[in-house]
Amino acid sequence: MHDLGFINSVLLVLILLGSVSFTAYSLRAKKKLETLNKNLELQSIEHNSLIKNANCGIMHIDNVGRIKQLNTIYTKFLGIKINSLKEYFVFLDEEQIEIFINIIEKKKDANFEQTFYNAKAEEINLNIYISFLPKTYDMVVIATSREDKIKLEKALYRSKIFFNHSDLGHIILDNELNIIEVNDSLCSLLGYRADELILKNFSIFFKTDILYNSFVKNYLKNNSLNEISNIEYRFKKHNNSMFWVEIFGKKFKDGNRTYTILSIRDISVRVNSRNTIRKLNERVQEELEKLQEIIDVISMPIFIKDKDFNYIDCNRAFCDFLKLSKEEIIGKNVFGIFSPNQAKQFHDKDLEMLKNSLQIYKTTMKEQNITIEIHKKTLYKEGSFNGLVGIILDITQKENEKVYLEARVKEELEKNRLQREQHQQEQLENVKFFTIGQMAAGITHEINTPLTYIKGNFEMLIEDIERLEESALKESMLEDTKVIKDGIERVAKIIESMREVSQKNSEKKEIVNILETVVSSLIISHNRAKQITKIELNGKTFDFNYTIEEEFFAFVQKQRLEQVWIIIINNALDELIKLENFENRALHISVKPLNNKIIIQFKDNAGGINEKILSHIFEPFESTKESSGIGIGLNIAKRIVEDQSGKITAYNQDNGAIFEVTLPLKEIDDVSK
Q: How far is the C-alpha of 188 from the C-alpha of 166, rounded, in Å? A: 12
Instruction: Considering only residues 664 and 43, tell me which one the structure prediction assigns the higher pLDDT.
Output: 664
Give mean pLDDT, residues 298-315. Answer: 91
User: What CATH number does domain 284-398 carry, 3.40.50.300, 3.40.30.10, 3.90.1150.10, 3.30.450.20?
Assistant: 3.30.450.20
| CATH fold label, 54-151 | Beta-Lactamase (3.30.450)
DSSP 215-258: HIIIIIS-TT--EEEEEEEEEE-TTS-EEEEEEEEEEEEETTEE
Whether residue 62 is predicted with pLDDT greater than 70 in this model: the reply is yes
Whether residue 271 is predicted with pLDDT greater than 80 in this model: the reply is yes
26: CB partners within 8 A, 6+ apart = none
Q: How far is the C-alpha of 262 from the C-alpha of 244, rounded, in Å? A: 15
317: CB partners within 8 A, 6+ apart = 298, 299, 300, 301, 302
**579: nearest Cα among 422, 423, 415, 427:** 415
Q: What pLDDT does 628 receive?
A: 44
Helices (H), 503-554: 514-529
Indicate the average pLDDT of the chain. 79
User: What CATH number does domain 510-672 carry, 3.40.50.11540, 3.30.565.10, 3.30.70.141, 3.60.15.10?
Assistant: 3.30.565.10
Q: What angle do CA 194, 200, 201 make, to 5 degrees?
A: 130
Give mean pLDDT, residues 277-300. Answer: 83
Which of these ranges, 131-135, 240-244, 454-458, 661-665, has the smallest mean pLDDT?
A: 131-135
**Bridge partner list, 662:** 599, 647
Q: How far is the C-alpha of 451 from the C-alpha of 362, rounded, in Å? A: 87
3-state secondary structure of 553: strand
* Phi (first) and psi of residue 603, to 5 degrees: -120, 125
For the stretch 14-55, pLDDT in tens is: 444 444 343 444 455 555 555 555 554 554 554 555 555 566
Whether residue 188 is predicted with pLDDT greater than 50 in this model: the reply is yes
Q: How far is the C-alpha of 301 from the C-alpha of 283, rounded, in Å? A: 26
3-state secondary structure of 300: coil
* Phi (first) and psi of residue 116, to 5 degrees: -155, 170
Q: What angle do CA 522, 526, 527 make, to 5 degrees?
A: 155
Q: How far is the C-alpha of 103 from the C-alpha of 617, rounded, in Å? A: 87
Please tell me the CATH superfamily of domain 166-266, with its number.
PAS domain (3.30.450.20)
**381: part of which helix (H) or strand (E)?**
strand 370-381
440: CB partners within 8 A, 6+ apart = 498, 499, 501, 502
Helix count and strand count (H, E) for the chain: 18, 23
Q: How far is the C-alpha of 102 from the C-alpha of 393, rounded, in Å? A: 116
Extract long-range pairs of 514-518: CB within 8 Å, 24+ residues apart: 514/552, 514/553, 514/554, 514/556, 514/561, 514/591, 514/598, 514/600, 514/663, 515/548, 515/550, 515/551, 515/552, 515/591, 516/548, 517/556, 517/558, 517/561, 517/562, 517/565, 518/565, 518/589, 518/591, 518/600
Which of these ranges, 253-257, 424-428, 457-461, has the smallest mean pLDDT?
A: 424-428
Q: What pLDDT does 598 receive?
A: 93
425: CB partners within 8 A, 6+ apart = none
Report which listed range, 78-87, 156-165, 269-278, 661-670, is most confident: 269-278
What sign has the CA pseudo-torsion 600, 592, 523, 541? positive
Instruction: Considering only residues 631 and 18, tell me which one the structure prediction assigns the higher pLDDT.
Output: 631
3-state secondary structure of 23: helix
For the stretch 102-154, pLDDT in tens is: 888 888 888 888 888 888 888 888 888 888 887 777 888 888 877 766 665 66
Whether residue 626 is predicted with pLDDT greater than 60 in this model: the reply is no
How many other C-beta atoms are found inside a 10 Å radius of the C-beta of residue 638? 22
For the stretch 362-380, pLDDT in tens is: 888 877 788 888 999 999 9
Q: What pLDDT does 400 receive?
A: 62
Model pTM score = 0.31
3-state secondary structure of 136: coil
51: CB partners within 8 A, 6+ apart = 58, 60, 69, 70, 71
Q: What angle do CA 414, 533, 559 make, to 5 degrees?
A: 105
